A and B are shown apart, each in its own frame.
Chain A
């Protein structure tokens, strides 16, 4: 409850004059109209919108800052790329944080500030886009455009058929190596939320366009919505070419698993003898499971008795050492084996390092996941 003033009326905020008619009444009236016109923008101001001016200012500041940074690092400001900026920031502000996204970054404002729609109506309150009242104007306009293209192509085809110049050839563009945009990417382009059915409908439209005979413009339109898939992702592996020593061809590589590190030397011609840290693998791994792990790369490639292995291993436990040696042996075998077999090994999971490490025990719990016994009272 407010304290009663002299008049018995509620206290007014400072700065707001009472509406009293007088010589300044026109100013007050103007004020009212400005209040009315800004009411429509309150809806847009509710979210944190960054005005266009603000973004432009940020971009200017970014460019100036980029030039300063280049001068600081002693490099040419004209040819200072984003990678150089990242390196410079990492150098000037070293951070030990584990989460990469929490570290200091300096990127172009377009990448930092989320994309927002410009205000879609004018001074008079009339929206610019003709599909504004559908709720998803850019999506529906895109669908409209695609369907328009389909109709054009069909009309063209009908004309050709009527003239008799229609040829049945369907050139199938190589669709391997590229994929459709995913829903998130489409949302990002259109800057509005879509539902799954909307997305599916759009993809169906594009596929229908693909089945028809299309010209270059349509092709370009469709290609805007395809992204290339990394070619078979086997190019991650770099295999050192095998080198010789004493006339014997061998290849050496390392492997790690859960704090065990192993280094394996696989000889190209041998009789299937494996020695671990100088002792026979039968004595080093009395458990059959570990020996099966060692056998897996050779058995997979059907080269059981053809290679000799000499490896050293340290750290970890019994199974971790076996896993580390297996990874090292598989990597070493990459050099001695054809590319196709390398791809098979990769798909079998022989070349992937196992990232599982022991999870930390948390306070308030007995182990990493196990909680203390819950007692009702």
Chain B
């Protein structure tokens, strides 16, 4: 509904030709008087902003996400370069691509009585795994699922300054900062659920504070945010409760983890005596691992492998076997692997058109066929490379 309104300020008069299928709106009436589009160039935009209705015909086209939705659904999930692009263009457009469509199809046909199915998005660096994940999350948010989104699991296994000994379990280590940040974002993303879901156990934080049984989950989250020392435990409780209650059918749970190969592998963290820490000893990782196991039902688990932030992994590794290691692979087995590959010619064309519409490519040769061929060769149709290249133009 708000998409044509929001799109109009961005488009120049000359670019009306690029609009795709128009929904019948009163504002769109005078647009329809323009020459109907039969341009040989690929149509780069679609007005269908509900991911649920995306189908094969929308493949390669960009759809718009309203900016308020963006803040609500993705407080922390988008890759930083995409955030910059959104800020520059003043609109958030994601491309509809085949892996995402495939996943949407599976998700639409999930049987919530069966244990949660694990989908693993894998592919070479820069092919669009994280953005496909964001597409899925947007879909699930529209469908009113509860989204448990960990934007980058690698952030939890490296560069952590303060590690505390866990209050819950003496052998494990807490990460108060990361946990509290995540809780804040989780709250923004799932406000409406926090009051609905009730805690099923009593949790004692310390001598003075405790959460009673039956109180809303929001209280646990508040406790974690205000008392940073207990943040990790709060995260653990949230995960446990959600897992238990997702089977009840009040809500559907989507567990989305980006960079899941961080859960099994090595960390760069060391204790004071310089001995390395294994991932299991971090409470956050331990709880997350429990989450990713498919012993609950009522939702789905979508995971992404990522080499970019990973520690101690070679640059060219992208297959699940290489990045997860034996332990991770065995834990995640069985899963449905979905390969995210480079752009095909139609998608590439669409991406270039999108940039041209937003006047992002200032080079005079960018419109020409030769320029497009050059960009194709230089980026080898890799979306990440193309974006970086176009940034210079």
Which residues of chain A have a CB within 8 Å of any CB of chain B?
A: 272, 279-283, 286, 288, 291-292, 295, 298-299, 302, 304-305
Verify if B376 is at the interface (C-beta below 8 Å from A). Answer: yes
- Which B residue's beta carbon lies closest to that of A279? B316
- Which B residue's beta carbon lies closest to that of A294? B377
B385 neighbours in A (Cβ, 8 Å): 282, 288
Contact-size category for B: 10 to 19
Given A279-B316, A283-B124: A304 touches B380 (CB 8 Å cut-off): no
B374 neighbours in A (Cβ, 8 Å): 295, 299, 304
- Which B residue's beta carbon lies closest to that of A303? B373
A305 neighbours in B (Cβ, 8 Å): 373, 376-377
B377 neighbours in A (Cβ, 8 Å): 272, 291, 295, 298-299, 304-305
Cβ contacts A to B, 20 pairs, < 8 Å: A272-B376, A280-B380, A282-B124, A282-B379, A282-B382, A282-B385, A283-B124, A283-B316, A286-B315, A288-B388, A288-B389, A291-B377, A291-B380, A292-B378, A298-B377, A304-B373, A304-B374, A305-B373, A305-B376, A305-B377
The count of A-to-B residue pairs whose CB atoms sit within 8 angstroms is: 37
Query: What are the interface flags for B370-393 relative to A under an 8 Å C-beta threshold, 1 for contact and 0 otherwise?
Result: 100110111110100100110000
Q: Give the secondary structure class of A's interface.
A: helix
- Which A residue's beta carbon lies closest to that of B373? A304
Those of B252-271 within 8 Å (CB) of chain A = none
Interface pair A291/B373, CB less than 8 Å apart: no
B382 neighbours in A (Cβ, 8 Å): 282
B378 neighbours in A (Cβ, 8 Å): 288, 291-292, 295
B370 neighbours in A (Cβ, 8 Å): 302, 304
- Which A residue's beta carbon lies closest to that of B372? A304
Nearest-neighbour CB distance to chain B for A350, whole angstroms, equals: 16
Bound: A291/B315 CA distance, A? 18
A295 neighbours in B (Cβ, 8 Å): 374, 377-378
Query: What are the interface flags for B312-324 relative to A under an 8 Å C-beta threshold, 1 for contact and 0 otherwise?
Result: 0001100000000
Interface pair A304/B124, CB less than 8 Å apart: no
A291 neighbours in B (Cβ, 8 Å): 377-378, 380
Bound: A292/B316 CA distance, A? 21
B315 neighbours in A (Cβ, 8 Å): 283, 286
Nearest-neighbour CB distance to chain A for B50, whole angstroms, equals: 34
Those of B225-280 within 8 Å (CB) of chain A = none
A272 neighbours in B (Cβ, 8 Å): 376-377
A283 neighbours in B (Cβ, 8 Å): 124, 315-316
Those of B301-316 within 8 Å (CB) of chain A = 315-316
Nearest-neighbour CB distance to chain B for A305, whole angstroms, equals: 6
Bound: A288/B392 CA distance, A? 11
- Which B residue's beta carbon lies closest to that of A272? B377
Nearest-neighbour CB distance to chain B for A236, whole angstroms, equals: 29
Interface pair B316/A281, CB less than 8 Å apart: no
Given contacts A295-B374, A298-B377, 15 further A-B contacts (CB under 8 A): A272-B377, A279-B316, A280-B380, A282-B382, A283-B316, A286-B315, A288-B378, A288-B388, A288-B389, A291-B377, A295-B377, A295-B378, A304-B373, A304-B374, A305-B377
Bound: A304/B377 CA distance, A? 7
Among B370, B374, B377, B379, residue most surrounded by chain A Cβ atoms (within 10 Å): B377
B316 neighbours in A (Cβ, 8 Å): 279, 283
A286 neighbours in B (Cβ, 8 Å): 315
- Which A residue's beta carbon lies closest to that of B388? A288
Bound: A298/B370 CA distance, A? 11
Q: Give 9 closest A-B pairs by Cβ, nearest first.
A: A282-B380, A304-B373, A295-B377, A291-B378, A304-B377, A283-B316, A282-B382, A305-B373, A295-B378
Bound: A114/B380 CA distance, A? 63
Nearest-neighbour CB distance to chain A for B375, whole angstroms, equals: 10
- Which A residue's beta carbon lies closest to that of B380? A282
Bound: A272/B379 CA distance, A? 12
Bound: A283/B388 CA distance, A? 15
Nearest-neighbour CB distance to chain B for A266, whole angstroms, equals: 14
Bound: A295/B382 CA distance, A? 16
Those of B343-393 within 8 Å (CB) of chain A = 370, 373-374, 376-380, 382, 385, 388-389
Nearest-neighbour CB distance to chain A for B81, whole angstroms, equals: 16
- Which B residue's beta carbon lies closest to that of A271? B345
A282 neighbours in B (Cβ, 8 Å): 124, 379-380, 382, 385
Among B315, B378, B382, residue most surrounded by chain A Cβ atoms (within 10 Å): B378
Nearest-neighbour CB distance to chain A for B341, whole angstroms, equals: 11
B376 neighbours in A (Cβ, 8 Å): 272, 304-305
